[in-house]
Structure formats: C-alpha cells, structure tokens
Structure 1
Amino acid sequence: MEPIITINNLTYVYDGQSIPAIDDLSLTINKGEWISIVGHNGSGKSTLVKLISGIETIQKGDISIDHILLTEDTIQSIHERLGIVFQNPDNQFVGATVEDDIAFGLENYGVSYDEMHTRVNHALESVKMSHMRRHEPHHLSGGQKQRVAIASVLALQPKVIILDEATSMLDPEGRTEILNIIKTVQQTHQLTIIHITHHLEETLDSDRICVMNRGSLVMSGPPESIYKNADELISLGLDLPFEMKVNRLLFNQDEFITTEELLKKL
C-alpha cells in the first residue's frame, strides 16, 4: 500500500481555547483507500479537514500529501491534488449554468479551451448530469446540486477528494445515490476518498473507519472490527446503523451486518 496522506503528531488549538481541537493526531491514508472519519459534533473532524486543505495553518506536527510537505510555499501544489465537496453546494456555485460552473476552476488553472471542453464533458458524464449542462445550478434539486459540485471537483483531476458532510442535507435516498456515484467515480479514476460524516450507515462500504473524539483518533479499522464496539460508539454520541440496531434488538448481537445479511436472518 502506498501512502498518499501522512499526518504526524498534529495538534491545533483555536485562539481563546485551552483544549486542543486536534490533539497529537497521527494518521496514514493509502492511495485508492476510502476512509470514513466519524465523530460527534466538536470531535475535531472539521478542523482536521481545514488543516489538511490548508484552510487553517498547522501549529504543531506536519502533513504530507502525495509526498509533498504542506507549507505556505507548497499550498498551491497541494490544492492541485486535493478536491473538497462541502455540505452546502450552493456555497460553491459561481457560474450561470452547470457547465460554466464546472469550467470556472479550469479557467483559473489556465487549462486550454479544448482540454476544458473535454474535462467538463467527462465530469458531467461521470455524475450523470450531461442533460442538465445548460441549467442554472441554483434551480436544481439538492441531489443534483451535489452532483454538479462533485463534477466541478472531478474536472480538476485531483488525487484525493474530501467529502465534508457532503450528504448531510440530503434525504436517505439522495445520500445513497450520491455515495454510489462517488464510489463508481473512485474506482474509475483510482481516487482516494476521505468521507467526513456523522451518519454511520454511510460507512458500511468503507475500507477503513476512523473514529474521533476530543481531537484524538480513538478507533481505526475496517467496519467489521469497528462495529464490534457498539457500546463504545454509542457512548461517543454516535448512532448505530439501522441494520445493527435491529440485529441488537432481535438477536442480541453486536456485529457488522449488511442489509442483505440482516434480511436473511429475518
């Protein structure tokens, strides 16, 4: 496994606060991995995203992305390798139409017109939004808006995509649809995905789940090992996936279980 993000002894304290938002955190994320980072509000998830993306300046420790140490001098190179899809896609829209919005970032990067046209088309096809290319982004549904936000990131051809609570404003069906699209895109383009979420049911297909609490990494492993610690997850303020709740209630078992496996047991 080849590391693409390495975080060493990261600590961050906000001004006026005595308790660190990130407390001596170390984490390695491998190329092509789907990592879900979960934790209750205030656990440090959002601060970690801000530090990885360079929005907040590192106070102690270091972060390397694609073997480049994150500093003020390398921030542009880091941004070329990193794409972020935020919770509210409306905050990312700048173009009058869907295709204009996707092209905006490419124009800022100085991509040629022909290359820009090709990338916009490929990005729209990847998220199944080609038929909406001339629509105004703000008139789209919530799920469609997130597809456009994902397409805008894809067009920049990053190596890592961070989903920062990117599905939290959608209904369960919309969340599933967006995650399926991103999963397909990840496999097609060999991307690394960092999925920040408080919906544990969204983590079942992860390669690894990282559980944060009070700025620290308290658990890390594949879903089948993390979900054996159901009582600890609940004590950390996390809500178990529906499948696990039913399995606990009816069969008194704490284990990783998919929808299909639960249906067989029922």
Structure 2
Amino acid sequence: MVLKLKNISVSYANKHILKNISTSFETGEIVMVIGANGSGKSTLLKVLAGLIDYAGEIILPEGINDVSEITGYVFQNPETQIIGSTVWEDVIFGLENIGLDKREMEIRANYVLNLLELAELKDADPYYLSGGQKQRLAIASILALQPEFLLLDEVTAMLDKNGKREVVDAVVKLKEAGKGIIIATHELNLFSPYSDRCIYIDNGAVVFDGNPSDGVKLYREKVHREFTSKAV
C-alpha cells in the first residue's frame, strides 16, 4: 500500500511550518524523519494522522476516504495514551469504541500482545510497567485498530537504554508484519541501521529523501557547521 503526499504545507499564525512537501510512504518499510527541534517533523506526522489541517493533497489508496483510516499515531509520552486499569483493558478500549464483537476483540488483542511480547503482562497495571513496556503497550493499543502505517513521534525520547532497545525490536517486528513505520526521531544511531529511508526536514522543507546513512551525515554536517559558527 502506498500513501502519497503532494505539495503539503502547514501554516500557523502566518508562519510556515511545512513547505510544499511531496513524498510517499509504503507498507513494509521504515522511514525515519529527522531534523532540528521545530523543523516540522511532528507536524508532518500529525498531517499523516489526520489531526491538523493542511494545504496540498494526500493521495490515498483506492477505497480509502480519509488518511486516518490507515494511520495510527503514537505519542512521545506513552502515559498520555494509557486508559485501561490493566494492559488487556488498555488494548481493547479502542476496539470497544469502534463496536467490534467480543470474539474479534479477543483475536486482535491477543495478536498484538503476543507480537509485542506483552501477553504475560495482560493483567498488569499499565502504570507499573517499565518505560519500554509502556511504549510497547501504546503501540499495541494503536496496532489493534489495524492501521497500515504507524506514526511514531519521538517514542524513545523518554526511555533508558533497555527501553529503547525494546521499542526498536518492536518496530522491526512491525515492519516484518507488513506495516509501514514512520518515525520522527533524534535517535539517529538507534534507528538508522533499521531504516529503509531517511527524510531530513529543515525549516519546514524536505532537503533530503533517500539513504539513511547519507541523510544522517548531511544533518550532522549542518549541526557541526552551526555549532562551529556559534563557537567563533
């Protein structure tokens, strides 16, 4: 499945946050979106999630009427998405809201909990999970709704080393399961080895879209130049 963006722009209070972005995303690939704070990474993900207004066009697959039908957004802080008093309740909450029957809910919930290695914790209180487990639970709760694309917004920023590794392992599994993964991140070394593409956004515009190693190198060169010029 392919999701295409054509000349996407976003403005707030006469400030251009995204500027004529044209690119595409496919299921079965991991795309890391990099750039400085305020460059537009999170805004791009929110456009893809159908959370904000934009100018331009999102070209959807046949039979899809709204981009939110095929995307699922996971926030930086997993606790903002925890609703249930147990891991199981948290996963089925969204399924209950869309009116699935009990059998289908059980099938989906068991699948995502097994996939993300949370099945043994299904009766646990989510607030007592580790950071990595909480983030995997947030991903599982969205994944249960069966989006084709997962939008991960700085999902490792608040995690320790073990938590980061748990999330990376989960992302790789999701790719293997055929999902499209789009990650806004500052964790260049963490995700670059597993990414198929890198989109580098600078001041709201895409300045690179291609090989992750090349994109990371370009970004680091700019950061180094800016640091050097300030030091002088």
TM-score, normalising length: structure 2: 0.90
- Describe the superposition over 1:174-226 as per-residue Cα deviations: whole angstroms up to 9, x where unpaired: 21221112211220x21101011011112222100010011000111112333
Q: Deviation of residue 233 (structure 1)?
A: 5.3
Equivalences for 1:77-226 in 2 at 5 Å?
Answer: 78-187=67-176, 189-201=177-189, 202-226=191-215
Separation (CA, whole Å) in 1 of partners of 2:216 and 2:99: 46
Which SS does the other structure have where 1:170 is aligned? Answer: coil
Amino acid at match of 1:143: G
Which SS does the other structure have where 1:23 is aligned? Answer: strand
Separation (CA, whole Å) in 2 of partners of 1:79 and 1:223: 27
Q: Deviation of residue 234 (structure 1)?
A: 3.6
Amino acid at match of 2:162: E
**Which of residues 58, 61, 70 in structure 2 aligns to 1:66?**
61
Amino acid at match of 2:57: D
Separation (CA, whole Å) in 2 of partners of 1:64 and 1:216: 19
Higher relative contact order (CA 8 A, sep 6+): 2
Separation (CA, whole Å) in 1 of partners of 2:26 and 2:202: 22
Q: Deviation of residue 67 (structure 1)?
A: 4.3
Shift in alpha-carbon separation, 1:158–1:236, aligned structure 2, 3 A? farther
Percent identity, aligned pairs only?
36
Do the aligned residues in 2 keep the contact of 1:34 with 1:206 (CA within 8 Å)?
Answer: yes
Deviating 4+ runs (over 6 angstroms): none
TM-score, normalising length: structure 1: 0.79
- Give unmatched runs, 5+ long, in structure 1: 238-266
Separation (CA, whole Å) in 1 of partners of 2:71 and 2:44: 14
- Describe the superposition over 1:6-52 as per-residue Cα deviations: whole angstroms up to 9, x where unpaired: 1111111102xx33000111111123221100011110011111211
Q: Deviation of residue 143 (structure 1)?
A: 0.9
